[in-house]
Amino acid sequence: MAAAIEIEHVSKRFRLYHEKFTSLKERLLHWGKIPYEDFWALQDIELRVEKGESIGLLGHNGSGKSTLLKCIAGILRPTEGEIRSAGRMAALLELGAGFQPDLSGRENIYLNASILGMKRAEIDKRFDAIVSFAGEQVERMIDNQVKYYSSGMYVRLGFAVAINVDPEILLVDEVLAVGDEDFQRKCLDRVKEFQEDGGTLVVVTHSPDMVRQVCRTRPRRDDRGR
């Protein structure tokens, strides 16, 4: 079976700075060097996700789940290793990710959908479906700046865009647990349709129940590769 995502020996390092020099004198005394330590959020991760497969990444807070998903999405670049993907990818990573707060909901729909590779004519055709999925509250505020949206409205609009651009790969990070029960059920129903159409799903969560609901294969636990 062909792979939708291939992750080979991926590691991601962050630098944690313990001091911040604010004056020119401090910088000169330390020769412009700020002391830091390396923090490896991911170490030597290997994973292959087949097309049409749904997998869950389980782990406690700080275990690197979200970092791995951001690397897959291309938001972060691995320090070491390589990630390859095949197919249009949509990512719903964190609250408001990808939204421009000073733009309206309408403008953000066009901006995000175009980033995901859709042409304006395609977005025009899907616009009503996106807004309808997001719900009446978002529809009433669609021409208002999204910085005035509630957290629930952010999630509704973000998921509505991600799921309606016909992705072949869908990355979801925790946000299915946000919002009211009716909207969660609506999202899960749409995810099931996506799976039935042969889509590939990677979901990050700390909830085993969520994995049982959406994953067709045995969940894989991410623990920084240690």
CA distances from 97 to 92, 126, 129 (A): 7, 21, 21
Q: What is the pLDDT of residues 96-128, one digit of tens each?
A: 567 899 999 999 999 988 887 889 999 999 999
Q: What is the pLDDT of residues 176-188, one digit of tens each?
A: 665 677 887 888 8
Lowest mean pLDDT among 22-26, 109-113, 216-220: 216-220
Residues 6+ apart with CB under 8 A from 158: 92, 95, 96, 97, 98, 99, 175
The token pair that represents 19 in the structure block: 């001091």
Mean pLDDT computed over every residue of the chain: 84
pLDDT of residue 175: 65
CATH architecture of the domain formed by 53-221? 3-Layer(aba) Sandwich (3.40)
pLDDT at residue 91 tops 80: yes
* Dist CA 67 CA 28 (whole Å): 35
The ranges assigned to domains in the chain are: 53-221
- For 129-138, letters b (16+ CB in 10 Å) and e give ebbebbbeeb
